[in-house]
Chains A and B, each alone.
Chain A
Amino acid sequence: MRDKTGARELAAALAVSRIFAEAASLPDEYHTYGMQRFTVIVLSFALTAVLFMSLYFVTKRTGGRLFGAVSGNGALTGFLGALFSLYLLYSAAETGLRAHYYTSGTIFDAAPSEYFYLFIGAALLFAVHKGIRPTVRAAVVTAGLFALFMLVISLALIPDIDLDRLYPSPVDDPDSLPAQVLRETARNCELPVLAVLGGSAGGKNGRTFAAYAAVSCLVLLLMTFLGTTVFGELVSRLDLPFYSLSSTADIRVLHRINGIDVMLWVMAAIIRLALISLAFRETAAACFARGKSADIAALIFAAVSVGLSELFTVYPALFTPVQRLSAACLPLIAAAVIIPPLTLIGKRRKHS
């Protein structure tokens, strides 16, 4: 692994990436905010931890790299790499689409989506070109700013918090709970990303996962707490829940701080896209390409993912079926359940 970073820094980057997935609810995403939302978040991270187990045991043997053992195994390597790359491509395209949906609902208004993707794409290509170390360090700074911003928002919202809106019912609608948990779990594309990039952080995947999952879960719970206690039932109809919170927070000096909120979310989106693209670079380096060609492949992947986001933006009908598949958590389960045993098989073949 030519580009190394720290486990704590990678955990912070993954947390920023994961939290971005909560920035906006896409049109077809169904969320029940309220007390059940807390249960959904906790259960989804519990399920994520279960899914992580198989990845953990495989990557533990290969220095934190999912494809560390199977490189050079011909057809099997190609198949695994292609499967994994497809998942990454979907995750990247969905991230781009979510970022566009978020910005067009806030600061980007009715500006043509081409401009948005052009800018995002340029920043993304720069980050991918620079590598994992600068990207992760930038994510640490973003995480710090985000924490500071959360603190300011939370303090500013204290007068608006109505604790009577919390009620002792962890499950409001048992029928919809499994679907919601799966949908929430499906947002953890950081899990496969960690399985590939973990080698860059010294292979401490268990520690990295624990830190990223704990921080993400706590932040999401805090956001849900604020949303529920400030907006009450209204929160179930919010497309941009955190933007709505920051818009509500009336800081005497800054007055309108939702502009800063948007800046942080856009940066988080680029970090998520960059991490996914860098995960593809490692996948490509192990499965398809060697040396510089993996770097070029990662740049092409980043450009293609942004292009795909634009396609999904222009033709939403193309995205809907893919999104339904993803909402059932199938791609993530495939990445976490199918690929690890195959890598072990590939490793045995290689040694035999």
Chain B
Amino acid sequence: MLEKELTKNIINIRAVMKNSSDLVVKYAKAGGCDICVLCCDGQIDANRTANLVYRPLSEIDGNVTPERLAAMIGGELLLACDEKPVTTADEVIGAVLAGFCVILIDGVGTGYAVGAQGFETRAVAQPENHRNIRGSREGFVEALHINMSLVRRRVKSPELTLRTMKIGSVSNTEICICSMDGRTDRKLLKAVTDRLERLPLSLVLESGFVQPFLEEKHPLFSGVGATERPDTFVSKLYEGRIGIIIDGSPFALYVPKLFSENFIMLDDYVEKPVFAFFIRLIRYAAFFIAILLPGFYTALANFHPELIPDPLLRNLAAAEALTPYSVLTECVILDIFYEIMREAGLRLPSNVGHAVSIVGGIVIGDIVVSAGLVGAPMLLTVAIASISGYIISDLNNQISLLRFGFILLGGMFGLFGLTTGSFVLLVSVCSLETCGVPFTAPLSPFSFAGMRDTLFRADWHELGKTEPDVLGKNAPEVHRHEG
């Protein structure tokens, strides 16, 4: 509890804060009483503090008792929308670190926290990873409250519930759980909230820290989605998912995520259904090309040349005859080389990254073929697979790993190795569930209702007739996992 003596309180708070340099303590007088305003440097807006705190306090006429001053601050004076009493040193510190100004009065054991938050944030801009052709250019930023406003602006209905809480015993990161009343399964909401409340982390810096605690364990895929787009996020909430926005991260999470959603983009809904179907078909094809093509090529070249049409086989044989390495070795070298280039391009500044891409892709690619180290068909195969992988940006990492695995399986064991590998992958993906919702729905278990917006996209006249039922009969069986 706070002491009535102001000096003791300040000494106590300074001791807990270990005399931290960013703790600002401003002594003053208001209504003839000694007061102290505490805030955290860089967390508050100076203009708001001057207008909402200092000016009203300095305008109090005459002398009043400390109790009367406290009553004025707590009731009569309108200092800010976000205002709350604090009664303990911990509450004072928590409020100060969250960007509040705390007013302490000598002779009163209660302080008042006034919301005057203001810190530098990145402006709302186009998302880096989830770009679209038509539609909003707004993306989430790092500040939680800006992100909450981006969501609220799109759903001006009491159905949308935003509930904030803090996670991380040290970082005290503020998060917001978003759901839509009447659409979200309550068991699912409770399960997600429980998991977040039980989060064992002390430091939460990014949404990726929280993600593993919401998904079922799987070595490759995740049943939790992440998006930078408020419009995508809102559409997921509308479909009955739970959304989680985390302060400090421009990626909002939603639970559960289905495998088929990796192939659905927001642009699909503003184009004609036939084009949406075509482009989704291309995305599915690109995914399978990205993971299987090099493995398939090495399998055919090593073990099953009879499956390759004769004219093509002659060309391939002529190209491979000039290279010193086996088909498998060539493929592994090229794939590793591509991954190195990709990693270098990702981490370097963008202008240098472009240079790396040019040097790696054109110069080295051309030279390895002309030097006779790698056959041109192999280079083409790996390049096509790599470009195909970029189409599904959310699965980039999985594609890289799977492609490498299938190259080894195809190169060492032929189509038989690819088949058994594909089966194991299929069973593994089918085993993944998030809070009881199968990752592979609505493909398997198959649902006709779900198929109207999976590979095909029904017309808006059709889609608008009924409420979305993406989770459909695969309604969460949360109790089974929470038991």
Closest A residue to B446 using CB positions? A140
CB contacts (< 8 Å) of B440 on chain A: these are: 137, 141
Which of A121-129, A225-233, A303-311 is the interface stretch?
A121-129
Inter-chain contacts of A123 with B (CB < 8 A): 420, 423-424, 427
Q: Are A256 and B444 in contact (CB under 8 A)?
A: no
Q: What is the minimal beta-carbon distance from B414 to any residue of chain A, in angstroms?
A: 6
Q: Is the CB of A134 within 8 A of B303?
A: no
Chain A residues near B376: list those with CB within 8 A.
Answer: none
- A9 and chain B: residue at smallest CB distance: B445
Given the interface contacts A137-B438, A255-B309, does A107 sit within 8 Å of B445 by beta carbon?
no
Pairwise interchain contact A119-B426, C-beta atoms closer than 8 A? no
B307 proximal to A (CB < 8 A): yes
Q: How far is the CA of A100 from the CA of B415 in the complex (A)?
A: 14
What is the distance, in angstroms, from B306's C-beta to the closest C-beta of chain A? 8
Decide: B420 and A258 in contact? CB cutoff 8 A: no
Contacts of B161 in A (CB 8 A): none
Q: Is the CB of A267 within 8 A of B415?
A: no
A133 to B437, CA, bound (A): 12
Chain A residues within an 8 Å CB radius of B445: 5-6, 8-9, 137, 140
Give every chain A residue within 8 A of B418 (Cβ-Cβ): 263
Does B427 lie within 8 Å of A138, measured CB to CB? yes
Are A263 and B419 touching (Cβ within 8 A)? yes
A270 neighbours in B (Cβ, 8 Å): 420, 423
Cα A76 to Cα B191 in complex, Å, equals: 45
Residues A138 and B426 in contact in the complex (CB < 8 Å), given A120-B420, A263-B418: yes
Asked if A30 is at the interface of the complex by the 8 Å CB criterion, the answer is no
Which of B303, B307, B309, B416 touches A266 (beta carbons < 8 Å)? B416
Q: Does A103 contact B (CB under 8 A)?
A: yes
CB pair A262–B415 under 8 Å, yes or no, is yes
A130 near B431: Cβ-Cβ < 8 Å: yes
The reply to whether the CB of A149 lies closer than 8 angstroms to some CB of chain B is no
Rounded to whole angstroms, the CA-CA distance of A267 and B418 in the bound complex is 11
Assembly CA distance A130 to B427 (angstroms) = 8
The B-contacting residues of A in range 120-177, CB under 8 angstroms, are: 120, 122-123, 126-127, 130-131, 133-135, 137-138, 140-142, 144
For A267, the chain B residues whose CB sits under 8 A away are: 419, 422-423, 426
In the complex the two chains form, what is the Cα distance from A295 to B216 in whole Å? Answer: 21
Q: What size tier do the contact residues of chain A reach?
A: 35 or more
Q: What are the residues of chain A within 8 A of B4 when measuring CB–CB?
A: none
Residues in A neighbouring B303, C-beta threshold 8 A:
107
Assembly CA distance A115 to B427 (angstroms):
21
Whether the Cβ atoms of B304 and A9 lie closer than 8 Å is no
For A116, the chain B residues whose CB sits under 8 A away are: 416
Chain A positions 27-70 with a Cβ under 8 Å from a chain B Cβ: none
Q: A126-B424, A138-B427 are contacts. A259–B309 as well, Cβ < 8 Å?
A: no
Cβ A141 vs Cβ B444 within 8 A = yes
Closest to B421 in A: A123
Q: Contact at A126–B427, with CB atoms within 8 Å?
A: yes
CB distance from A299 to the nearest CB of B (A): 15
Q: Which residues of A contact B443 (CB under 8 A)?
A: 140-141, 144
B427-459, CB under 8 A of A: which get 1 and which 0? 110110000001010011110000000000000
User: Which B-chain residue is minimally distant from A8 (CB atoms)?
Assistant: B446
B308 at the interface (CB under 8 A from A): yes
Instruction: State which of B419, B431, B444 has its C-beta within 8 Å of the C-beta of A140.
Output: B444
Given contacts A255-B309, A256-B308, contact A127 B444 (CB under 8 A): no
Residue in A closest to B431 when the chains form the complex, CB atoms: A134
Contact yes or no, A259 B424, CB < 8 A: no
Query: Complex Cα distance A9/B424, Å?
Result: 19
Q: Are B414 and A107 in contact (CB under 8 A)?
A: yes
B468 within 8 A of A: no
Whether a CB of chain B sits under 8 angstroms from the CB of A108 is yes
**Once bound together, how far apart are the Cα atoms of A173 and B140, in whole Å?**
75
Interface centre among A135, A138, A267 (most CB of B within 10 A): A138
- Across-interface contacts of B430 in A (CB, < 8 A): 130, 133-135, 137-138, 141
> Which residues on the A side are within 8 Å of B424 (C-beta)?
122-123, 126-127
Task: With both chains docked as a complex, state the minimum distance between the C-beta of A114 and any C-beta of chain B, in angstroms.
Answer: 13
Nearest CB on A from B453, distance (A): 18
Q: Is the CB of B428 within 8 A of A134?
A: yes
A6 and B442 alpha carbons, distance in the complex (Å): 13
A9 touches B427 (CB 8 A): no
Shortest A244–chain B CB gap in Å is 15
Q: How far is the CB of A4 from chain B (nearest CB, A)?
A: 9
CB-nearest residue of chain B relative to A5? Answer: B445
B417 within 8 A of A: yes
Are A262 and B426 in contact, with the CB atoms below 8 A? no
In the bound complex, residues from chain A placing their C-beta under 8 Å from that of B404 are none
Nearest B residue (CB) for A103: B416
- CB nearest to B303 among chain A residues: A107
Q: Are B304 and A122 touching (Cβ within 8 A)?
A: no
Q: Which residues of B contact A5 (CB under 8 A)?
A: 445
Q: Which residues of the other chain, B, contact A120 by a CB distance below 8 angstroms?
A: 420
Indicate whether A119 sits within 8 Å of B427 (C-beta atoms), given known contacts A140-B445, A263-B418, A263-B422. no
Contact B417 A119 (CB under 8 A): yes
Q: Which residues of B contact A259 (CB under 8 A)?
A: 300, 304, 307, 415
**CA A115 – CA B413 in complex, angstroms?**
9
The answer to whether B446 and A9 have CB atoms under 8 Å apart is yes
- Smallest CB separation, A12 vs chain B (Å): 8
A232 to chain B, nearest CB (A): 25
Which residues of chain A (283-317) have a CB below 8 Å from chain B? none
Contact partner, B416, options A108, A127, A133, A140, Cβ 8 Å: A108
Query: Which listed residue, B300, B416, B431, B438, touches A119 by the CB 8 Å rule?
Result: B416
Tell me the minimal C-beta distance from A151 to chain B in angstroms: 15
| Given known contacts A140-B446, A255-B309, A135 and B415 CB-to-CB distance under 8 angstroms | no
CA distance in complex: A6, B428 (Å): 18
Distance (Å) between the CB of A341 and the closest chain B CB?
Answer: 35
Measured between C-beta atoms, what is the minimum distance from A16 to chain B in Å?
Answer: 12
Rounded to whole angstroms, the CA-CA distance of A137 and B307 in the bound complex is: 30
CB of B426 within 8 A of CB of A266, answer no
Determine if B444 and A137 form an interchain contact, defined as CB atoms under 8 angstroms apart.
yes
Would you call A263 and B415 a contact (CB within 8 A)? yes
Chain B stretch 289-334: residues in CB contact (< 8 A) with chain A? 300, 303-304, 306-309
Q: Determine if A138 and B446 form an interchain contact, defined as CB atoms under 8 angstroms apart.
A: no
B420 touches A141 (CB 8 A): no
Which residues of B, 455-479, contact A by the 8 Å Cβ criterion? Answer: none
Chain A residues near B419 (CB-CB < 8 A): 262-263, 266-267
Measured between beta carbons, the chain A residues less than 8 angstroms from B307 are 256, 258-259
Give the distance in Å from the alpha carbon of A349 to the alpha carbon of B328 in the complex.
64
The answer, among A6, A107, A131, for a CB contact under 8 Å with B415, is A107
Q: Which residues on the A side are within 8 Å of B420 (C-beta)?
A: 119-120, 122-123, 266, 270
User: B108-121, CB under 8 A of A: which get 1 and which 0?
Assistant: 00000000000000
User: Roughly how many angstroms separate A5 CA and B433 CA in the complex, as a whole number?
Assistant: 13
Whose C-beta in chain B lies nearest to the C-beta of A6? B445
Minimum-distance CB pairs A-B, first 4: A137-B430, A134-B431, A140-B444, A134-B430
Q: Identify 6 residue pairs between A and B in the complex whose beta-carbon atoms are under 8 Å apart, listed by A's number.
A: A8-B446, A107-B303, A116-B416, A122-B420, A137-B438, A142-B426
Question: 4 more A-B contacts (CB under 8 A) besides A8-B445, A116-B416, A263-B418?
Answer: A135-B430, A138-B427, A258-B307, A262-B415
Residues of A within 8 A of B (CB): 5-6, 8-9, 12, 103, 107-108, 115-116, 119-120, 122-123, 126-127, 130-131, 133-135, 137-138, 140-142, 144, 255-256, 258-259, 262-263, 266-267, 270
